Amino acid sequence: MADKQSSEKTAVPKTGATNAAVVNPSKKRKGGPGRPKGSQNKLTMQVKECILQAFHELGGVDYLVEVGRSEPRAFLILLGKILPTEVIGDLNTTGIINVVTGIEHAPNEAPEASEGEVE
């Protein structure tokens, strides 16, 4: 019975690695300070560099203009990814808000008239 009591007194709850320093102060966590806050990991930087290199090889801005004309939905998705997600302004001012509900076609790319419409 004495053995049972002594083992109960020395039992340490198993709650994670942080208890190692409590049980044995000489076992502190080792390691560096880690990556600075806000910095990207190497893989993310390498992927972005590859994408930018491909963008420049495809024609840069001229390529984006071509994609915008041939695939407007894909272009608008890309545009939506880079636009700010938060609008900051003064709510006490008055002004005009323009809501874009569609894309206007250039005169040489006018869509065909639907049934029942007269041109």
Say what the pLDDT of residue 23 is: 61
In terms of DSSP H, where are the helices of 26-90? Answer: 42-58, 61-70, 72-82
Contact 68, 75 (CB under 8 A): yes
* Residues 66-84 pLDDT 10s: 999 999 999 999 888 888 7
Burial 86-116 (b: 16+ CB within 10 A, else e): eeeeeeeeeeeeeeeeeeeeeeeeeeeeeee
Say what the pLDDT of residue 119 is: 47
φ, ψ at 109 (rounded to 5°): -120, 30
Contact 104, 69 (CB under 8 A): no
| pLDDT band, residue 112 (cuts 50/70/90) | low
Q: What is the mean pLDDT of residues 48-64?
A: 94
* Residues 2-52 pLDDT 10s: 555 544 555 555 555 555 555 666 666 677 788 788 777 888 889 999 999
| Averaged pLDDT score across all residues of the chain | 74
Contact 19, 13 (CB under 8 A): yes
